[in-house]
Structure 1
Amino acid sequence: MGHKVLIVDDAAFMRMMIKDILTKNGFEVVGEAADGNEAVTQYKELSPDLVTMDITMPEKDGISALKDIKLFDPNAKIIMCSAMGQQAMVIDAIQAGAKDFIVKPFQAERVIDAINKTLS
């Protein structure tokens, strides 16, 4: 059985893209969330091995959700997803405990590399 992943992105299309990459590479997508509040709730319910977290979302952004999840589980493995030009936010995310980040549009190879590196 592959590692369990929670995908968090407000864009259904992006969730679909990353889910496709993950399932083709043997990962099990156990949940999807469209905002930070859902992400925190689902993390607590599903206990995934890894979370891919979009930075810019309505309700609660990815960095706030990252901090909340880290408070709940200091060992949480979270990879941030950002569009180009969000370097300052990426630095904030890494300082808040993100393990890595991947840039949109997703490149399958980079996504899998980041996930494997984070899980090993």
Structure 2
Amino acid sequence: MGQICSALFGPEQPEGKEVLAVMGKPRLDPLASQAGRLSSQALELRQRAAQTGLPAHWDFELTPGESLEEEWQEGWPSCDRTLPGQFVIAPAYLVAEQVFSRQRVCTGLSIPG
């Protein structure tokens, strides 16, 4: 899910083929039309955010193994929020550096090696 969010809201404009690629699906998969529609909706959201004139961005930054910062991160519902973050499932959404939606993070113990 984190990779799909990154394909939709990361630095590059979203494309259906990228969504399919992160899911490990071929270009002609039956999900291709849904991936294209999802990408179009994400692009529309990005354009609407840009039209406000306010600086807005989706934040995927996370240092694995560090504790969650409650003001802009929260554990994924099935995760123990007292454990350190491992990877981002859904990015934080910030407008003018104000958090409108916190990051959703998978937490857990680091596995060496």
TM-score for the superposition, normalised by structure 2: 0.27
Select the structure that is richer in helix. 1
TM-score for the superposition, normalised by structure 1: 0.26
